[in-house]
């Protein structure tokens, strides 16, 4: 797990999309947003919690767990 400064949720989402053989445009359509927003999401180091929840639901993966792991490692 990367350190907080190096943590990039967009990259983690991108890896999940690749594992599922899905595109950024597909993700954008699932989120009911313009397809041009898909790549923009993947470039973000941090995302708003509500958007991250929607992405977690769409990809059926708990992206909040990555943050929880970072928190637990700081203790």
Q: What is the pLDDT of residues 13-72, one digit of tens each?
A: 999 999 999 999 999 999 999 999 999 999 999 999 999 999 999 999 999 999 888 888
Between 70 and 10, name the one with better pLDDT: 10
Q: Is the pLDDT of residue 73 over 80?
A: no
- The region that residue 27 occupies, defined by phi over 0 for left and psi between -120 and 50 for alpha, beta otherwise, is alpha
Domains of the chain: 4-68 (1.10.260)
């Amino acid at each position: 797990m990367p350190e907080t400064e190096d943590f990039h949720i967009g990259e983690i989402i991108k890896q999940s999309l690749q594992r599922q053989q899905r595109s950024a445009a597909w993700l954008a359509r699932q989120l009911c947003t313009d397809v041009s927003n898909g790549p923009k999401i993947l470039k973000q180091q941090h995302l708003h919690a509500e958007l991250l929840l929607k992405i977690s639901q769409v990809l059926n993966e708990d992206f909040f767990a990555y943050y929880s792991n970072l928190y637990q490692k700081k203790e």
